[in-house]
Amino acid sequence: MALKIRTIEKTDVDGFYELRNCPNASANTLAMPFTSKENAAKMVSRMTEEEGSISLVAELDGKLVGTAGLNVFKGRRRHCAALGISVHDDYQHKGIGTALMKALLDLADNWYNLKRIELEVYTDNEVAINMYKKFGFTIEGTLKCYAIRNGEYIDAYLMARVKQ
């Protein structure tokens, strides 16, 4: 089984739709449960066309098992980007997020010359927090009542990696 990291394509709608509807994967993002196939198709279309945005997928034996992206800012923040990663529930804790992170950071450092990459992560998502720290991200602050998940407010950390 070989993991392949590649850019997202419009033909990835079915896999993206499945990933967006995984309970764990969606619970740890700002995604709402029960994404429709139509909305998934619109999101994939945006990801393939949006200038300044980098969207990757992890594919294992032809199955989409993860997505990741960098949204590069404009103007006076063009040296910065926001990062997001999501891994299919059945493939978590298998190095998929790490592989996606390595690919994104290679692009950020060696092709886009980004100085700062930032993200938000729920404070109880210890696995993700530890992975981000492994790649040089630090916690810069806590965002109180950042989102609603399962009927409760949840805090998030603002984390960033600033390239020296």
**Region 14-28: what's the mean pLDDT?**
91
Task: Tell me the pLDDT tens digit for each residue of 41-72.
Answer: 999 988 888 788 899 999 999 999 999 999 99
Name 160's bridge partners.
Answer: 118, 138
Q: What are the structural domains of the chain?
A: 3-119 (3.40.630.30)
Q: Give the global pTM.
A: 0.92
φ/ψ of 147, rounded to 5, equals -150, 170
- Say if residues 97 and 66 touch (Cβ distance below 8 Å): yes
Three-class SS of residue 120?
strand
Rounded mean pLDDT, 135-146: 98
pLDDT of residue 112: 93
- DSSP run (H or E) holding 101: helix 96-110
Query: Beta strands of 8-163 (E only): which ranges?
Result: 53-60, 63-72, 80-87, 116-122, 138-149, 152-162
**pLDDT for 143-158, tens place per residue?**
999 999 999 999 999 9
* Structural element, H or E, at residue 39: helix 37-49
Tokens in use for 129? 């927090």
